[in-house]
């Protein structure tokens, strides 16, 4: 789109993360996902008259952890506010949230895009309760209400309008998801709605000093859709302005299947929430001692771990990035490295065969099917010249997954995979291959050395992949020259 070059894109995100506490934020009802409708509730969730909220300490701890991970200032004194609005799945008639005194102020999240690392400033992180679910069945005039989710704890992470492309927005959500998973405070599952993202989007002419009117887009259930919805919204706004029309401040919802968005409500009708301090909850004071305790309990975070993999294990930046995608993967790598000194081989195995296996079987990094020690043994067999990588990854690995009680050596022997490093048995095959392809030999001698791969493949085929590739290569080169 040509016209796009005239504009600067401005994006701010509001990310809601459902916290992995056992109970709800203001009472002891179960906060577990799902369940038969209306089974996780008591009179408090239903806001019967006379019931009172009581703050869940874990919620505060989790929010503080996120704040520390985002370099935010942690509020030491805070109150809760009522955000008043009517909604059928909000029985109290207001949401208990934090307006003036968010638990975390400022801070930033570092993202990585093509241009490198950038710090995206946060406005705040606050804690609040989730609402229930309204269910509209097809051909039904009634609305069904499920209050299980009502009162489930959330943190809302609000960025400054500092993002300048949909790619940056996607990178930010990716980073936030990684952080909450490392901290084990949220499962980060966007499909189930445990992590939700609203995107505020506006455009302005390049060089302008005032932001344009922003549109808020809701309902994006994957990182890919966040990016697509923003791209679509930017295009829509550019078209409006290029046609002499105006962008109106509104909330729109993005439809994944059609790729279009439609307006839900304009901001003018909304926005009078009459926030006021909740008189039922006393002010929350975070003591120095508690804050220190939480700081001490912080796990290694993705970027620290990535740096560690680069410095301690001498991995290339790319490897370190991939391995720290998930904490479980990074920990598995470190475990393997306790049994082998060949760190790069461990990384290659995890990024290659193991990751493909997990993808194919739709499993997570905590379900890697072979133990770190076994992987280290496979690496040792390759180093000792008893196996080559191709055979080990394609033939031995699938069997190891099936028979985890066997050692790699036993299994490789049973399967007759042990590599042949014996010159006396490989040489005749090499000679035969050279004999069988005089045309190719001539081409090779004219300088088309890439043909070596073809000879190599032929030897491997005839030895059922068992010839030592290094030795085979040496013999081929010698015989061909």
Tell me the number of residues near ligand ADP by CB under 6 A. Answer: 14
Q: Is 11 in the site for ligand ADP (CB under 6 A)?
A: yes
d(CA 246, CA 294): 48
Taking the complex as a whole, the smallest distance from the CB of residue 69 to ligand ADP amounts, in Å, to 19
Binding mask 124-163 for ligand ADP (x = CB under 6 A): ----------------------------------xxxx--
Place of tokens 């069904």: 144
Q: Are strands 276-277 and 81-84 parallel, antiparallel or unpaired?
A: antiparallel
The answer for residues whose C-beta is within 8 angstroms of residue 5's C-beta and 6 or more apart is none
Closest CA to 315 of 344, 353, 337: 344
Taking the complex as a whole, the smallest distance from the CB of residue 451 to ligand ADP amounts, in Å, to 58
Q: Is 10 in the site for ligand ADP (CB under 6 A)?
A: yes
Q: Is 220 in the site for ligand ADP (CB under 6 A)?
A: no
Binding span for ligand ADP by CB under 6 A among 5-13, 173-181, 321-329, 471-479? 5-13
Among 65, 82, 83, 214, binds ligand ADP (CB under 6 A): 214
Among 165, 202, 340, 347, binds ligand ADP (CB under 6 A): 202
The answer for residues whose C-beta is within 8 angstroms of residue 250's C-beta and 6 or more apart is 215, 216, 263, 264, 265, 266, 267
d(CA 307, CA 360): 29
Q: Would you state the structure tokens that stand for residue 299, as one six-digit string?
A: 């796990």
Taking the complex as a whole, the smallest distance from the CB of residue 300 to ligand ADP amounts, in Å, to 29
Handedness of CA 55, 56, 61, 67 (dihedral sign): negative
Binding span for ligand ADP by CB under 6 A among 65-73, 198-206, 415-423, 426-434? 198-206
Compare residues 13 and 380 and give the one whose CB is closer to ligand ADP: 13
Q: Is 335 in the site for ligand ADP (CB under 6 A)?
A: no
Compare residues 103 and 387 and give the one whose CB is closer to ligand ADP: 103
Q: Is 99 in the site for ligand ADP (CB under 6 A)?
A: no
d(CA 296, CA 290): 10
> Which DSSP category does 420 fall into?
B
Q: Would you state the structure tokens that stand for residue 15, as one six-digit string?
A: 């990310």
Q: Is 14 in the site for ligand ADP (CB under 6 A)?
A: yes
Taking the complex as a whole, the smallest distance from the CB of residue 356 to ligand ADP amounts, in Å, to 38
Q: Would you state the structure tokens that stand for residue 87, as one six-digit string?
A: 């909604």
Compare residues 14 and 474 and give the one whose CB is closer to ligand ADP: 14
d(CA 3, CA 6): 6
Main-chain dihedrals φ then ψ at residue 8, nearest 5 degrees: -100, 135
Binding span for ligand ADP by CB under 6 A among 141-149, 196-204, 235-243, 447-455? 196-204
Taking the complex as a whole, the smallest distance from the CB of residue 9 to ligand ADP amounts, in Å, to 9
Compare residues 97 and 202 and give the one whose CB is closer to ligand ADP: 202
CA dihedral 327, 333, 335, 341 (to 10 degrees): -150
Compare residues 187 and 235 and give the one whose CB is closer to ligand ADP: 235
Closest CA to 220 of 202, 232, 208: 232
d(CA 134, CA 143): 6
Compare residues 214 and 232 and give the one whose CB is closer to ligand ADP: 214
Taking the complex as a whole, the smallest distance from the CB of residue 345 to ligand ADP amounts, in Å, to 44
Compare residues 78 and 347 and give the one whose CB is closer to ligand ADP: 78
Q: Is 211 in the site for ligand ADP (CB under 6 A)?
A: yes
Among 75, 148, 166, 200, binds ligand ADP (CB under 6 A): 200
Q: Is 300 in the site for ligand ADP (CB under 6 A)?
A: no
Compare residues 11 and 74 and give the one whose CB is closer to ligand ADP: 11
Compare residues 12 and 408 and give the one whose CB is closer to ligand ADP: 12
Q: Is 465 in the site for ligand ADP (CB under 6 A)?
A: no
Compare residues 161 and 469 and give the one whose CB is closer to ligand ADP: 161
Compare residues 157 and 426 and give the one whose CB is closer to ligand ADP: 157
Other C-beta atoms lying within 10 Å of the C-beta of residue 393: 20
Coil vs helix vs strand at 76: coil
d(CA 328, CA 317): 18
Main-chain dihedrals φ then ψ at residue 82, nearest 5 degrees: -90, 130
End-to-end CA distance of the chain: 56
Residues that bind ligand ADP (CB under 6 A): 10-14, 158-161, 200-202, 211, 214
């Amino acid at each position: 789109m040509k016209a796009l070059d005239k504009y600067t894109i401005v994006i701010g995100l509001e990310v809601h993360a459902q916290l992995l506490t056992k109970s709800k934020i203001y009472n002891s009802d179960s906060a577990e996902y799902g369940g038969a409708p209306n089974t996780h509730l008591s009179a408090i969730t239903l806001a019967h008259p006379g019931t009172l909220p009581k703050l869940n300490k874990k919620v505060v701890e989790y929010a503080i952890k996120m704040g520390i991970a985002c370099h935010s200032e942690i509020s030491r004194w805070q109150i809760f506010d009522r955000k008043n609005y009517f909604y059928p799945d909000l029985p109290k008639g207001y949401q208990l949230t934090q307006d003036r005194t968010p638990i975390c102020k400022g801070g930033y999240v570092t993202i990585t895009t093509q241009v490198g690392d950038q710090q995206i400033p946060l406005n705040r992180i606050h804690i609040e309760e989730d609402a229930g679910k309204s269910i509209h069945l097809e051909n039904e005039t009634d609305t069904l209400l499920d209050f299980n989710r009502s009162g489930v704890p959330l943190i809302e992470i609000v960025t400054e309008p500092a993002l300048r492309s949909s790619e940056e927005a996607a990178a930010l959500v990716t980073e936030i998801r990684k952080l909450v998973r490392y901290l084990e405070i949220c499962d980060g599952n966007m499909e189930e709605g445990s992590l939700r993202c609203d995107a505020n989007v506006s455009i302005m002419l390049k060089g302008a000093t005032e932001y344009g009117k922003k549109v808020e887009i809701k309902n994006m259930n994957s990182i890919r859709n966040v990016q697509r919805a923003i791209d679509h919204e930017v295009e829509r706004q550019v078209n409006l302005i290029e046609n002499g029309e105006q962008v109106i401040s509104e909330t729109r919802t993005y439809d994944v299947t059609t790729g279009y968005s439609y307006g839900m409500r304009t901001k003018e009708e909304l926005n009078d929430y009459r926030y006021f301090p909740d008189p039922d909850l006393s002010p929350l004071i975070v003591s120095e001692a508690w804050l220190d305790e939480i700081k001490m309990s912080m796990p290694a975070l993705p970027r620290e771990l990535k740096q560690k993999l680069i410095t301690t294990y001498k991995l290339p930046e790319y490897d370190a990035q991939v391995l720290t995608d998930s904490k479980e993967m990074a920990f598995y790598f470190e475990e393997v490295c306790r049994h082998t000194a060949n760190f790069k081989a461990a990384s290659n195995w995890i990024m290659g065969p193991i990751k493909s296996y997990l993808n194919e079987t739709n499993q997570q990094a905590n379900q890697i099917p072979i133990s770190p020690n076994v992987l280290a043994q496979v690496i040792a067999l390759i180093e000792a010249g008893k196996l080559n990588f191709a055979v080990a990854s394609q033939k031995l690995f699938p069997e190891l997954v099936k028979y985890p009680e066997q050692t790699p050596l036993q299994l490789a022997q049973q399967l007759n995979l042990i590599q042949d490093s014996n010159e006396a048995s490989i040489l005749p095959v090499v000679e035969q291959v050279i004999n069988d392809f005089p045309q190719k030999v001539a081409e090779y001698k004219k300088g088309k050395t890439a043909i070596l791969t073809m000879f190599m493949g032929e030897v491997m085929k005839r030895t059922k992949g068992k010839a030592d590739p290094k030795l085979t290569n040496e013999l081929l080169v010698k015989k061909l020259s």
